[in-house]
Copies of this chain bind each other. A is one copy, B any other.
Amino acid sequence: MNAAIRAVVRAGISYGMEVHGIERGFSGLVGGDNSRVFDLGAVAGIIHRGGTILHTARSTEFYEKEAQEQAARRMLEAGLESLVVIGGSGSFRGAQALQELGVKVVGIPATIDHDIPGTDSSIGFDTAVNTILEAITRLRDTATSHERIFVVEVMGRESGYIALAAGIAGGAEAIIIPEIKPDLDQICRRLLEGIARKKTHSLILVAEGAAGAYDIGQKVHQKTGLETRVVVLGHIQRGGTPSAVDRLLGSRMGAAAVTLLHRGYSGLMAAQRGTEIVAVPLARSFIGGRAFPEDLYELSLVLAR
């Protein structure tokens, strides 16, 4: 996210704007003194840092009309005309409300879950997949002479995209996602086939929204008699040095968002489509769902052996 913040600041300054950084997200807009002018130096040396220099805050109060009105009033009083919101569908819903109250808004999609409709990708996803792959590589190294199944729980409450991407790239023997009911009998049959082919270990990736990893581990053990080991990656998947893709995406989207505001647009999201950054209506991000990546799922079945 820091790459996006840096690009917003620098592109803004190149247009002659005064750019303020607001800490703690929407909560920071609503109350307290969380805004300060960002100059070129304020965003120096941050592009390779994980996390965000603005901190984040999950704020449920923002779904309330009153808080929204207070935020818009405070912004306009402080002379802040436009807002770049970096976040997911929930944040963009809040941004949309602010727009209706007179603030110009543009969104930048940033969510590890890769579940924002309207954009090919969002900031944070690639870094998280790379982090999961590192963990998987470590697990594979601990090969033993007796057969063992690792069950690894990764993020993805409603979308199995991250599990599919990490599972294919990590060579998982099975991937369990929320969108498809898993056929545990078939999975276990395949695991036993692998062992018959002298595999010493196999890997089942489970999206957290699909099933409990411990539950899967137990069932697989019961059905196959194989030793299972469960690893819940949890918060380790967040943070970490951002990947090249995420830094480039953040830089491009940050600059594009400011350019849109500079040209007078509002209510848009800077979105990736192929190799381009395009503008789509902000509402596109929370109305309608994202298509299930059927092709990745099919591919996973072919490769997972």
Tell me if A138 is interfacial: C-beta within 8 Å of chain B: yes
B137, B145, B275, B276: the one contacting A55 at CB < 8 Å is B145
Comparing A61-69, A103-111, A165-173, A176-184, the segment that makes contact with chain B is A165-173
Interface size on A, residues (CB 8 A): 84
Q: A250: nearest residue on chain B (CB-CB)?
A: B169
Task: Verify A120–B275 contact, CB threshold 8 A.
Answer: yes
Shortest A228–chain B CB gap in Å is: 11
B44, B47, B274: the one contacting A199 at CB < 8 Å is B44
For the complex, give the distance between the alpha carbons of A49 and B277 in Å. 32
Chain A residues in the interface with B (C-beta under 8 A): 3, 6-7, 10-11, 14, 23-25, 27-28, 40-41, 44-45, 47-51, 55-57, 120, 126, 129-131, 133-146, 150, 165-166, 168-171, 197-200, 229-232, 234-241, 243-245, 247-248, 251-252, 255, 273-277, 295-296, 299, 302-303, 305
25 contacts between A and B (CB under 8 A): A10-B302, A24-B145, A41-B198, A47-B170, A48-B136, A48-B170, A49-B141, A51-B142, A55-B144, A55-B200, A126-B244, A130-B244, A134-B134, A137-B239, A137-B240, A138-B238, A138-B240, A150-B235, A165-B244, A168-B252, A229-B235, A230-B234, A231-B234, A236-B236, A252-B295
